[in-house]
Amino acid sequence: MSPDSLHVVIHIDGGSRGNPGPAGAGAVVQAKADNSILYKGGVFLGKATNNVAEYSGMITGLTAAKELNATHVELFSDSQLLVRQMIGQYRVKNVGLKPLHRKASDLAEEFVKCSFTHVRREENTAADKLANMAMDAKTNILDAAPDPYEQD
């Protein structure tokens, strides 16, 4: 990789309380080189399904990476469905997810390299917390300040 390229790691999550119900998405973008947080935020979606919330988290994270001029992206999600749809293992059958999948795919194609990996829920707690913060506040939580009590 050239010195002017930016390699980022993105953790995303989405959830709804009821399916559909009040929904939120979270994304954390970190520099791969030193794990520094470049962006973290939560998005309140109003009433949506869990899968729409997961896709919204991914779009939020990819958009933030693009705005940071990232060239290489490693995206991690605890949604097996989303990851398998993004890598082409599963077709997107739900009509409501098709435009979100298209938007995420278009964003992913703008990077030199973009990978999608499924992780266990326990490995995705920061993004989950942001999604829940947005649902609780019923508003977007952009560039959320670090929690002084958070244990790393």
Q: For residue 60, tell me if it sits in a domain.
A: yes
Q: For residue 144, tell me if it sits in a domain.
A: no
Q: For residue 149, tell me if it sits in a domain.
A: no
Instruction: List the 7-16 sheet strands across, edge first.
Output: 37-48, 21-31, 7-16, 72-77, 113-118
Whole-model pTM: value is 0.92
CATH code of 130's domain: 3.30.420.10
Tens-level pLDDT at each residue, the chain (152 residues)? 566 789 999 999 999 999 999 999 999 999 999 999 999 999 999 999 999 999 999 999 999 999 999 999 999 999 999 999 999 999 999 999 999 999 999 999 999 999 999 999 999 999 999 999 999 999 999 865 444 334 33
Enclosing domain of residue 54: 7-137
Are the C-beta atoms of 58 and 104 separated by less than 8 Å?
A: yes
What is the reported pLDDT for 142? 80
Q: For residue 49, tell me if it sits in a domain.
A: yes
Q: For residue 142, tell me if it sits in a domain.
A: no
Q: For residue 131, tell me if it sits in a domain.
A: yes
- Domain count for the chain: 1
